[in-house]
Amino acid sequence: METLINKGDLDDLFRRHLELPINTLLQAELTAFLDYEKYDRIGFNSGNSRNGNYSCSFKTEYGELNLVIPRDRNGEFSQQTLPANKRTDDSLETTIIQLFQKGITMSEISELIEKMYGHHYTPQTISNITQIVSEEVNAFKERTLESKYSVIFMDATHIPLKRQTVSKEAVYIVIGIRLDGTKEVLGFSIAPTESAYVWKEILQDLKKRGLEKVLLVVTDGLSGINDSIYNVYPNAQFQQCCVHVSRNIAHKVRVSDRREICNDFKSVYQSRSKEEAMDQISFMMEKWKKQYPRVIKLLMNPAILTFYNFPPSIRRTIYSTNLIEGFNKQLKKYTKRKEQFPNEESLERFLVSQFNNYNQKFLCRVHKGFKEIQDTLESMF
């Protein structure tokens, strides 16, 4: 049966996939101009450096592109990807759309842009941009991390990827909160399924890149994951996401009892103290043990109360994986209209572009509740 595709959906699809490569090129241009990689320390002593971005729109027949134009501190950088003093261009969209049809390769972007605006780019600049874009993923993966993080959140989402066939694969993501309360995506990996073994490999990579100590690891409670954590970070505390526990409880009881028993459990992770939470667990166990003995086993897991070992100001952040799940939902929202990524490299480029945007936004913001307890967290190591 032939599937009818709404023109509005196609326009939105093309618009989304125009934004990503153009924004990537703009960032690559600045890197070539400054002549140092995004994560190189040399940038701090080069006499010029990155200085944030400003937003602008670029009208096409597929809708407005939301572009982020990078700036340098000395005000010397002038982007060449887009025609000067214009906010619309038919030839640009026509050419770049070919890239989307071919699978979005960065070398093709550079070649196509050079054909259109060859007088803007010297051959060396094109070479630099191509190399920088192709090395963006490696730069992200290999960058050095802080030695201490107060909390790291681990969660996987699933995105369609084509190898020989198309299937949803697990994208493992780790977000960390530093001692000063700023947060960043630390690392990621792609694998056909989610497993504790892959998580262990990711944690080993984080340690290799400089993350020596972490106070708390928050996960959804995948089987065997606590062993993977303790194998790499034996002194870390482990918190199983209370929201996931609540979902598991709901699946193990009758529909008629779900609201009541989930409300009972909600009182556990919203108590004022660990002692009060333990009293609530005792109450639940006595109340439900005859009807739902399997639920009692979930309540006996001490990892659901670990967050009470930390100051009250951050407990709402660390009793669940909501912080990282919210980010993963945004990733899926961006990709939901794309049938698949044509290969692992294209998926990695997309992910790293999103991770860099997240880090640029949140490495200068202190997460709620962390500012006033920095010394307390430091003393807990």
Chunked in runs of 10, what are the mean pLDDT values of the chain (381 residues)? 47 67 79 69 62 78 78 79 56 47 49 53 51 72 94 94 86 95 96 93 96 96 90 96 95 95 96 96 95 93 96 96 93 70 80 86 91 93 91
Q: What are phi and psi of 219, to 5 degrees?
A: -140, 180
Q: Which residues are CB-neighbours of 354 under 8 A, at least 6 positions away?
A: 330, 331, 334
CB atoms within 10 A of CB 126: 18
Cα 344 off chain centre by: 17
pLDDT at 39: 56
Token pair belonging to 200 = 């262990």
What's the longest Cα–Cα distance across the chain? 79
Q: Find where tokens 């960065």 sit.
A: 106
pLDDT at 2: 39
> Which sequence spans correspond to the domains of the chain?
7-134, 141-379
pLDDT at 165: 84
- Cα–Cα distance measured from residue 154 to residue 324, given in angstroms and rounded to the nearest whole number: 7
pTM for the structure as a whole: 0.71
Q: Residues 263, 210: contact at Cβ < 8 Å?
A: no
Q: What are phi and psi of 4, to 5 degrees?
A: -85, 130
pLDDT at 223: 86
Helix then strand then coil, % of the chain, to nearest 5 = 55, 20, 30
Q: Residues 43, 36: contact at Cβ < 8 Å?
A: yes
Q: Residues 45, 36: contact at Cβ < 8 Å?
A: no
Residue 26: CA atoms inside 13 Å, Cβ hemisphere, count?
Answer: 24
Token pair belonging to 242 = 């209370």
Helix, strand, or coil here: 223? Answer: coil
pLDDT at 237: 97
Q: Residues 149, 318: contact at Cβ < 8 Å?
A: no
Helices and strands (H and E) in the chain: how many: 15, 7
Q: Find where tokens 């054909």 sit.
A: 115
* C-alpha radius of gyration, the chain, whole number: 24
Helix, strand, or coil here: 274? Answer: helix
Q: Provide the sign of the torsion angle of the four alpha carbons 82, 88, 92, 97, taken in this order.
A: positive
Q: Which residues are CB-neighbours of 272 under 8 A, at least 6 positions away?
A: none
User: Exposed/middle/buried for 319, CB within 10 Å: 0-12, 13-18, 19+?
Assistant: buried
Q: Residues 355, 330: contact at Cβ < 8 Å?
A: no
- Cα–Cα distance measured from residue 133 to residue 106, given in angstroms and rounded to the nearest whole number: 7
